[in-house]
Amino acid sequence: MGTALRCAVLDDYQRAAAAGADWSVLEGRVEAVSFTEHFGTEDELAAALADFDIVVTLRERVAFPASLLTRLPRLRLLIASGMRNSVIDYEAARAAGVTVCGTESSSTPPTELTWALLLGLARQLVPESTALREGGPWQGSVGTDLAGRTLGLLGLGKIGAKVARVGLAFGMDVLAWSQHLTPARAEEVGVRLAASKEELLARADFVSVHLALGPRTRGLIGARELALMRPGAYLVNTSRAAIVDQEALLAALREGRIAGAGVDVFDQEPLPAAHPMRTAPRLLATPHLGYVSRANYATYYSQAVEDIQAFLAGAPIRVLG
């Protein structure tokens, strides 16, 4: 091969790509360049990626619609972490001669973060820690118990099932619902099937979202649904921002109609400095850390290298779309 191909690694905020895989196996054939800042517009992306043959993108941080793909004439391989990506136009990629590949992704890190948010809300960890450090009141809150409380899960897939098992270990009564959830699946996990979304929302002390985003789930939780929740209930969303109407959630938090929310996903990412989610009351928020763990990153980047090697050998693996 002549001149080395150029590979852009997008949104490498923590500079983790180099440590997460052995890129030396591509030496002389591929030059990898990490971008540590997010490109906020399609024009910025088109300009930055114009000279690259390969792009590695994390999860669904960056959309690749037809309008962008047509502006990247050199692009031949697009690698996404995970085996499903809703922001890549696969048909447009095929038309442009771009192969799209994925990697494995563990459901364990988002499960663990779900419980970090839920426990943080239940025991008011952030305000209590802040008060301790800043000389505030000693024991300014009374924590919410988990044992004996009801955990409502919207979705009982890989992540939802893992979250359910932890809830059961805490001694919680676990309800689950989704549009196609069967009694057999609920029984398999050891939880009870709610008769409806409305019943789950009305009965749960903690509601956690674990659904894929699609036409049926976009806006699934809006003002009407939030109004069904108990005033002392908490909502946790580590799935997709668009499943929960963010304006309705902000209103519910500001008006104290629910006790609080734990959110890891947002309508804009990175979250703009002036975004109201940054200052909302009763909100425990994290910057989309659900899949951000050492083990997951090692999988993403090591398999990205494997994807590149296979592509160079003329036999692409883990092809998507």
Pick from 288, 271, 273, 280: nearest CA to 252: 280
Cα-Cα end-to-end distance for the chain: 28
* C-alpha–C-alpha distance, residues 245 and 223, integer Å: 8
Which residues are CB-contacts of 52 (< 8 A; sequence separation ≥ 6)? Answer: 6, 7, 8, 33, 72, 74, 75
* C-alpha–C-alpha distance, residues 143 and 120, integer Å: 10
* C-alpha–C-alpha distance, residues 264 and 115, integer Å: 12
Pick from 303, 258, 301, 308: nearest CA to 283: 258
Residue of 269, 275, 282, 318 with catalytic role: 269
Residue 60 DSSP SS3? coil
DSSP 212: -
Residue of 59, 149, 210, 288 with catalytic role: 288
Do residues 250 and 277 touch, judged by C-beta distance below 8 A? yes
Residue of 59, 149, 203, 240 with catalytic role: 240
DSSP 262: E
Determine whether 240 is an active site residue: yes
**C-alpha distances in angstroms, 79 versus 103, 289, 290, 320?**
8, 20, 20, 9
The dihedral sign for the CA sequence 242, 288, 85, 105:
negative
- Strand intervals (E) in the chain: 5-9, 30-34, 54-57, 77-80, 99-101, 150-154, 173-177, 192-193, 206-209, 234-237, 260-263, 283-285
Determine whether 288 is an active site residue: yes
* C-alpha–C-alpha distance, residues 21 and 297, integer Å: 9
- Greatest alpha-carbon pair distance for the chain in Å reads 67
Active site residues: 240, 269, 288
